[in-house]
Structure 1
Amino acid sequence: MKFVFLGALSLFLFGCTTLNEKMDNWTEKNNKREFQVKTAWVRRTTEKDNLGFRKINRMTPVIAGDLLIQGNAMDGVTAYERESGRLKWRLPIVNGVEPSATLIKDRLFFGASDGNFYSIAASTGEVQWAFQTKAENLSEPLLYEGVIYFLAGNNVFYALDAATGRQLWLYSRQDTSQFSIRGGGAPALRNGNLFVGFSDGSLVSLNAKTGNVVWEAQLNRNKRFRDIDSTPVLDGDLIYIAGYDDKLYCVSADKGEILWRVDGGGYSAVTVIGDKLFYPTTNGEIWALSKANGDKIWTHKLNEGIGTAIKSLKGVLVFGESQGSMFFLDQNTGKLLGSMEPGRGILAAPLVDEKNDRVYFISGEANLWALDAGWVRAPYF
């Protein structure tokens, strides 16, 4: 009887072990997550179908309360309800709006391709004032202490009174090159000094009050394209900025000295997260770099164009591809987690609403997309 009892006990313990292993495997599989991308809604931003030449839509959407505001490069600016995508108002502008805008309270500031810079009421679309630049405007503005700063397409940098649109000062820079990339970056600001990139390959620091030059640094010296079209990104007393088909530079904000450089040009600004830089290059790659010295950590190759500026969604990198899809990459490894093809590519940086796990962007077809993106529990069966 003793041997029978021991045999039964062994069988019982073996059965328990097997059952526990099955339970552990079931728990592991049931807790497994996958990254999911789904379309919440999509809207055409043009008043009529575009049957002609496709233009460059590069404006990042703007959240203004319950509204989502989007400009296109064809016929103007529109506002939609964030949740439903229902049209709220439309402001017609000849040749449309390409650059991203700046919002403060109910005032939205942006440059347009009709040769004007605008201040409008975000809630209604009513124009408050318009300032003539007599050139197309392709750069996002910056608002600081009641002054709006922006770079016009003819290499003239303006400072305007934000309340009235009155010109306070301007800084003009001549470019003798016959070749230039169409675009321009937003200015950056630190300790009362502005930092602006120009099409002649220079990065210039200007006093925000007077427009006087603090320092200037010649970065991009290419014979063909010398443009500094990316927005300078400040991190403490360092500036990270890219030259088109050139290099990524780390520059001191105080003196404009080049501290290090990495071969590989860029059109969009870098994104700083922790101790890393995330950088879309003009040769169609996404780089993760050490921000201390520019050493490469990982690379992700794109197949259909160049990447937009990169945004972060809870540890996931979000960016568009100029001739392809919206991509979602693991921040630590560069592994592809998901994608969505909107048609005719993406040139505008996306807007990420982390609170609601939603991504908004305009496609090359001038359609405004709202995507729900995030981690969900994978089905067990």
Structure 2
Amino acid sequence: MKIQTLWPLLLTLVGCSSFNSTMENWSSRNNKRTFEVKTAWVRSTTEKENLGFRKINRMTPLLVGDLVIQGNGLDGISAYSRDNGDLKWRLPVVNGVEPSATIIRDRLFFGASDGNFYSVEASTGRVQWTFPTKTENLSEPLLDEGVVYFLSGSNVFYALDAATGKQLWLYSRQDTSQFSIRGGSKAALKDGNLYVGFSDGSLVALNAKTGNVVWELQLNRNKRFRDIDATPVVDGDLIYISGYDDKLYCVSAAKGEVVWRIDGGGYSGVTLFGDKLFYPTSTGEVQALAKANGEKLWSYKLKEGIPTQIKVFKGIVTFGESQGRLVFLDMNTGKALGEMEPGRGILSSPQVDEKNNRVYFISGEANLYSINAGWVKKDYFIE
């Protein structure tokens, strides 16, 4: 969350593959069905070829009507046709748009690396207003009842009027550590309280109307990386949150007390599905856990890097490897079903269009992919 940052395990300058070599299929046979992963289209999201230092591209693609909106960490944010990848509009932004965005109706909200927070018309890319944070913005915003909340790269949490960009309140937190993992926690909201993690290892509950502290809980006390960059996930009265170099915690939302914890830190938030919790760890493992107590049901070890946040659809979990592939696993067993290699890894959590068996993500080389993925029979996708 700080300007002075490290990105261990997430970047590599080797393993580059050519743009055209990614247009490939992968299939896994299961009785009379085949799980197929096939590239539908791929587009470069940069205006010009990047010949300099490779930046971080980790914005989750946003599906808006017939558009897919994608920012990169280099030069801006663009909208493409979901059907064929045709460019619809491009908004140049100095140093790009790294975090994910949020939308209501036709209004898009995101923080950028040029020191501004943006409100943009999603259908056209026209800027409605900007708010100066004077620092990089690395976390996804939260929108609720006409207010947009977000954490800036300098550990300042803002509440802005979504219609005008006027500041309503802010909460600032000091961090004395020398280094920090690059990223930022998206806030979670329940019963009028916001829950957000900070780079000093704290989880803080704030009153959404005033910004006053309800409670704060020091979780990660490590001397190396104390960051709480994952998004808190609220389920009933419980919050699931991880520290990067630490543990996964289950915390009482009402009291700010730890209910249970398990070893193994995480950079991205957990994904809840039924009685299961899917956890992407910072040690390069995907775990399926019992939501009630954290008991491990199965685990999958990545070949390279660490996993992105996990998406679940039709009995399948999918995620990216920071230095490798897009991976598909059976939700109940953790068995590998399929994969594809885009080149230079994936830091973006995939976006799933479940109705059309389509998965979108941006690669480490700032290429936006549209992937068909699902069980097929006689070359047709089936439900």
Question: TM-score, normalised to structure 2's length?
Answer: 0.90
1:154: which partner in 2? 154
Q: How does 1:354-365 map to 2 (within 5 A)?
A: 354-365=354-365
Judged with a 3 Å threshold, the aligned counterparts in structure 2 of structure 1 residues 178 and 315 are, in CA distance, closer, same or farther, namely same
Q: Tell me whether 1:195 sits opposite 2:195 in the alignment.
A: yes
* Superposition deviation, residue 31 in structure 1: 6.5
Deviations 1:124-162 (A, max 9, x none): 000000000001000000001100000000000000000
Q: Tell me whether 1:377 sits opposite 2:372 in the alignment.
A: no
Q: Tell me whether 1:104 sits opposite 2:120 in the alignment.
A: no
SS at match of 1:43: strand
SS at match of 1:159: strand
Deviations 1:66-120 (A, max 9, x none): 1110000000001011101000000000000000000100000000000000000
- Answer whether contact 1:30 1:377 (CA < 8 A) is retained: no
1: distance between equivalents of 2:283 and 2:321?
Answer: 12
Q: How does 1:1-381 map to 2 (within 5 A)?
A: 32-377=32-377
* Superposition deviation, residue 178 in structure 1: 1.0
Deviations 1:303-325 (A, max 9, x none): 11000000012110010000000
- Amino acid paired to 1:237: D
1: distance between equivalents of 2:55 and 2:237?
Answer: 37
- Answer whether contact 1:249 1:260 (CA < 8 A) is retained: yes
SS at match of 1:262: strand
Please list every run of 5 or more consecutive structure 2 residues that lacks an aligned counterpart in the other structure.
Answer: 1-28
* Superposition deviation, residue 223 in structure 1: 1.1
SS at match of 1:36: strand
SS at match of 1:355: helix
- Amino acid paired to 1:297: L
2: distance between equivalents of 1:144 and 1:326?
Answer: 32
- Amino acid paired to 2:66: D
Deviations 1:351-371 (A, max 9, x none): 000011000000000000000
1: distance between equivalents of 2:59 and 2:82?
Answer: 17
Please list every run of 5 or more consecutive structure 1 residues that lacks an aligned counterpart in the other structure.
Answer: 1-28
1: distance between equivalents of 2:317 and 2:235?
Answer: 19
Deviations 1:219-259 (A, max 9, x none): 00101110000000011110000001100000000011000
- Paired residues in the alignment total 351
* Superposition deviation, residue 180 in structure 1: 1.0
2: distance between equivalents of 1:313 and 1:294?
Answer: 22
1:3: which partner in 2? none
- Answer whether contact 1:32 1:378 (CA < 8 A) is retained: no
SS at match of 2:297: strand
**Bigger fraction of residues in helix:** 1
Judged with a 3 Å threshold, the aligned counterparts in structure 2 of structure 1 residues 124 and 375 are, in CA distance, closer, same or farther, namely same
* Superposition deviation, residue 42 in structure 1: 0.1
Deviations 1:191-244 (A, max 9, x none): 010000000000000000000000000000101110000000011110000001
1: distance between equivalents of 2:344 and 2:201?
Answer: 30
2: distance between equivalents of 1:350 and 1:249?
Answer: 24
- Amino acid paired to 1:377: K
2:21: which partner in 1? none
* Superposition deviation, residue 378 in structure 1: 6.3
Deviations 1:163-185 (A, max 9, x none): 00000000000001112111112
2: distance between equivalents of 1:165 and 1:97?
Answer: 18
- Amino acid paired to 2:208: A
Identity of aligned residues (%): 76
